[in-house]
Structure 1
Amino acid sequence: MTTTYAPPAGRHRADEVEQGEESGDHVETESDRGRTTLEPRAVKKIAARAAGEVDGVGEGAKVSARVDGETATLDVQLPVSYPASVARTTEAVRAHLMRRTHQLTGLTVPRVDIVVSALKSAEVRSGRVW
């Protein structure tokens, strides 16, 4: 009989995988299977894309990430689309980045610091006015 534990989607390592065989049980741990390491630049790219998934965010969000074991901390420079509420947009981005970064990397994100770097107008200017 074989029983395999599949970790939830987004986890970057399995805590335990149990395999039962007739001769006895074997517990496979992280050290048996290997380790996955996420570089801060990969976390930074994931978070920057995730920021763009939130309504009210203008193009060009910039993110820096610090990874320490199972935890990531994010610093975000965020352009907000005018006339979106800055307070609502930044809170939505903070919550989304915590959830989405964890979902895609398995890292816990306890802190997201945001600096609103610009207010971007939604109107597109075409040509020159004389």
Structure 2
Amino acid sequence: MIPAGRRGTTTISARAVARIAQQAATEKGGAVGAVRGAATVRGRRADVSVRLALPWPGELGHRARAVQRHVASRTGELTGLTVRVTRLGVVRLRRSEDSAVASPPDEEGGAPRRWWSPRSSPAAVIALLGAVPTALLTADVVAVHAFGHAPAGWRSDVVDRLSATRADALPVTVGAIVAVVAGLWLLLLAGTPGLRSRYVVAGFPSRRTVAVDRSAVASLVRDRVLDVSGVDTVRVRVGRRRVRVRAVLAFGDRAAAREEARAAVLGAVDDCRLDRPLRCALRLRTARTWDPVPDENLVNAPAADAPAGAEHGRKETR
């Protein structure tokens, strides 16, 4: 019998580990749609990354963590490797009939109206304006008292100019005005939330909030209105409280198209589940070549120069 040390080893390829991780991602967490995975194997360790779609609405953070833990444990169990999920990417959200409803707000309070901006740029400017003079002054004072150097010329010049300047001088007045304006600006930034281009999604607890960008809402509304029969061009502008839609009708009944387009806009806004509902304003005008009653035979007729026996699909004019 061949000794155990000379029987060879079993090597699991990175592709096999990726396939196992893909299958594990579909077992728990309610992944919806195709799952793509990648893996890198180094000895007895494997780094796995998974891209998938999750159902919506649902607790995304909890669901993503559950998928990550399950993929790591299940892949390690089946392969015998030490698996680490380095990246879990949620590429899209899809509605599912069996998806869990979002958690209601906590008893402590609902989600905030808007996300607060970190104000990184104003904070960096103020910190820089305060740090540079303070550092120079500190370095000069340390040089004078610790090493016995003479005071810097700029510090003596500043002290002499300030001692000779009157309180009602023009530079003092201008500096005071600038200081007041800067102070009011900082108070305004501190008292306003910022991030006005993001809307908070309703149905999440106060400890975790989810927001969508205005461009995402505009894209969803535009796609819904373009699905209306006869609509050719759509322009959407999403403001703070209102969605303005301007559409061009190429053919069909104008009144029916208006009602269908309005219903599409309202449905798209409702599907966003925003914490603060948006008002909708729709303006529908007809194109210069508008046809109230389009010829169905002309719309659905196959091309005359198409080859015989080829499959023809209906093409709807947008």
Q: TM-score, normalised by structure 2?
A: 0.29
SS in 2 for 1:113: strand
Identity of aligned residues (%): 35
CA separation in 2, counterparts of 1:61 and 1:88? 18
Alignment of 1:1-130 (within 5 A): 28-29=4-5, 32-123=6-97
Deviation of 1:27 (Å): 6.3
Where structure 1 has 5 or more consecutive residues not aligned to the other structure, the ranges are: 1-18, 20-25
| Residue 8 (structure 1) aligns with | none
Aligned residues: 100
| Residue 22 (structure 1) aligns with | none
CA separation in 2, counterparts of 1:76 and 1:112? 9
CA separation in 2, counterparts of 1:110 and 1:95? 9
| 1:72–1:110 CA distance, 2 compared to 1 (3 A) | same
Deviation of 1:33 (Å): 1.4
* Contact persistence 1:65–1:73 (CA under 8 A): yes
Structure with the bigger percentage of helix: 2
Q: Which runs of 4+ in 1 moved over 3 A?
A: none
Deviation of 1:111 (Å): 3.4
Q: TM-score, normalised by structure 1?
A: 0.69
**Cα deviation per residue 1:87-126 (whole Å; 9 max; x = unaligned)?**
1111001110110011000010133311110101115xxx
Structure with the bigger percentage of strand: 1
CA separation in 2, counterparts of 1:100 and 1:85? 22
CA separation in 1, counterparts of 2:21 and 2:14? 10
Where structure 2 has 5 or more consecutive residues not aligned to the other structure, the ranges are: 98-226, 230-318
Give the CA RMSD over aligned residues.
2.2
Amino acid in structure 2 at the alignment position of 1:102 = G
Amino acid in structure 2 at the alignment position of 1:122 = S
* Contact persistence 1:64–1:74 (CA under 8 A): yes
SS in 2 for 1:61: strand
SS in 1 for 2:24: helix
Higher relative contact order (CA 8 A, sep 6+): 1
Larger radius of gyration, structure 1 or 2?
Answer: 2
